[in-house]
Structure 1
């Protein structure tokens, strides 16, 4: 892969990889690091990629694996609460901000499938492949995540914060 190809790939996927990593780390700095690691591995990949879908899936899989590795690392640092970042992300409406906080409050096993399915437009089958799960497990996690989000967002509405 030459530098021009790599720059094109980095521009196209950097934000997407950051968003996925942020779902795991809940830290902008750490998510940025995970996205950079995935892109560096892409640059140094020995085998050529077959097509655009192959590049996308490979990058997301590497990002997910790097995040998992980071989360079990003894070197993991303290991270600031997610609420500290919510204002800097520039949501257009309070509803978008509330939804973001509700998604980020979900346990990781629900948060990541929600992000891949709704924000990255992956099918249940593709999410299962990326996360190394069965399709039925992904469907169950999506269902439970939606139920938890519904409860949380109804609570926001009852409090008048939505």
Structure 2
């Protein structure tokens, strides 16, 4: 038997350092815990079998997030996914933390997938538009356009909040320290 699989230590370290980001992105994209767990498992199985020589941890994380996006897209396109309804209602599942911005994150959840994923990668994961572009398979200008459209939709959605001003999307301290 040919041993071209990565070491257990490498896989464990990758899961420790990037597993939360992979799971959160899958959860944000798919909306259901069971589907996010399936994608998480598939992503790390692909890593186990892959032979890419990663330059550094950031290269590994970018690769994992790109594979996560691809796995989510594959799952969403599947006939099984289109014919089933989620067993669980997880309205708060993709919110990063309970930080007083529940209304904001609820509005983010209602955005179309292409807008929601760039908002998530930019504001929660802390990526710049040039870094997001290869992850979602488009140009940096397209990412900036999607962020602009998302902010505009969120502004319209949130105009009715208490002080009349839309809430600002800011990465939470917990997520900034995790980067």
The answer to whether the 8 A contact 2:22-2:65 is kept is: yes
The answer to whether the 8 A contact 2:66-2:136 is kept is: yes
Give per-residue Cα distances to partners, 1:42-86, cap 9 Å, x unaligned.
11112332211211111000000000011110011312575x442
Corresponding residue of 2:98: 92
Q: Write the mapping of 1:6-155 to structure 2, written as runs, cut at 5 A.
A: 6-76=11-81, 77-79=84-86, 84-86=90-92, 91-93=97-99, 95-155=100-160
Relative to total residues, which structure has the larger helix share, 1 or 2? 1
Question: Shift of residue 156 of structure 1?
Answer: 4.5
The 1:114/1:155 distance shift into structure 2, 3 A limit, reads same
CA RMSD of aligned residues (A): 2.4
When normalised by structure 1's length, the TM-score is 0.87
Question: Shift of residue 88 of structure 1?
Answer: 10
Query: SS of 2:142's equivalent?
Result: helix
Unaligned stretches of 5+ in structure 2? 1-5, 168-179
When normalised by structure 2's length, the TM-score is 0.79
